[in-house]
Structure 1
Amino acid sequence: MNRAKIQDYIDQREEQRADLYHIERDDENHFRLNGHPYELVKDYRDGFNPTELAKRFSSVLSKYDYIVGDWGYDQLRLKGFYAKENPGFTPEKSVETIEDYLFEDCNFGCAYFIIHNEDVKVGHPHHRRRRRNHSSKKGPVIKERRRKVKQPSVRHRKNQHAERVKTGKHQQKFVIRQRKQGAKKHK
């Protein structure tokens, strides 16, 4: 895929998203993004651009208490952070780590802004959460029913023996076969 084709896909996607989100300014520091209230907390080097925020915004970001938008290579990047009161709070994504994010992950001296979500939407009403088995942190436990074999072990069967069969270069399997009449037992 060449660059021109990739750029065409990007342009098509931007056209599709153009009317998806819109911003209405209430005053200098307060605005509504699709009717959802936000407050502009910090605007460093005029990094806040309402039209670009509307283009890049996603409904996933409405679960965060604070959203940082930073500019690099003429692209706006958005990242969310939680307050301690939020049920989704984790220390890695807490409000206290915003400064670390700006110093470590953003371009040096880049323009950025911080907005506060005044009405956090915890969870999305249209998405159901998957049930998880909490007995194991590694994932759901798969329980399997097995039938008990009522036959004696292969060594104790009178007319059968197990034979090793190679199926590939480093693979093998065992096959249980009928013993020929008069054959001696292998030990």
Structure 2
Amino acid sequence: MKKIEINGQEYEVIENVGNCLNIDDIRDRITDYFDNYDYIFGDISYEKVRLKGFNDADNKKVNKINNIKDLDSYKKNYCSYGANTFLLKKVK
């Protein structure tokens, strides 16, 4: 797996559909808000990047809307059809 560093945090690139991950586009958007998440999911639609945090099922902060096991459902319901996406996993 490819590893990258953003704002002092190391991530594994789990998915990069359409080779859409551009670190310069997301560096300023990955703030301390994402510190409590195990994953950062991004989708690109109409040239805009949206980010969402997800957690592993064993994370005490996991809930119905941020469980990584529901990522496919999130993609289906909230992302544009055929949108380029990426998934980063925090290296602890």
TM-score (norm 2): 0.92
Matches within 5 A, 1:74-89: 74-89=47-62
Task: Identify the structure with bigger relative contact order (alpha carbons < 8 Å, sequence gap 6+).
Answer: 2
Gaps of 5+ in 1: 1-27, 120-187
Q: Distance in 1 between matches of 2:8 and 2:49?
A: 22
Question: In 1, are the aligned partners of 2:39 and 2:53 still within 8 Å (CA)?
Answer: yes
Aligned residues: 92
Q: Which of 1 and 2 has greater Rg?
A: 1
Identity %: 25
The Cα shift of 1:103 comes to 1.0
Question: In 2, are the aligned partners of 1:62 and 1:117 still within 8 Å (CA)?
Answer: no
Match of 1:91 in 2: 64
Q: Letter of the 2:73 partner, please give it.
A: D
1:60 aligns with 2:16: no
Residue of structure 2 aligned with 1:69, choices 31, 39, 42? 42
Q: Distance in 1 between matches of 2:7 and 2:31?
A: 11
TM-score (norm 1): 0.47
More strand by share: 2
The Cα shift of 1:56 comes to 2.1
Q: Distance in 2 between matches of 1:96 and 1:85?
A: 11
1:40 aligns with 2:17: no
The Cα shift of 1:32 comes to 1.2
**Runs of 4+, deviation exceeding 6 Å:** none
CA displacement 1:71-119 (0-9 Å, x = unmatched): 0111100001110121101133101111111111001101110000112
Match of 2:77 in 1: 104
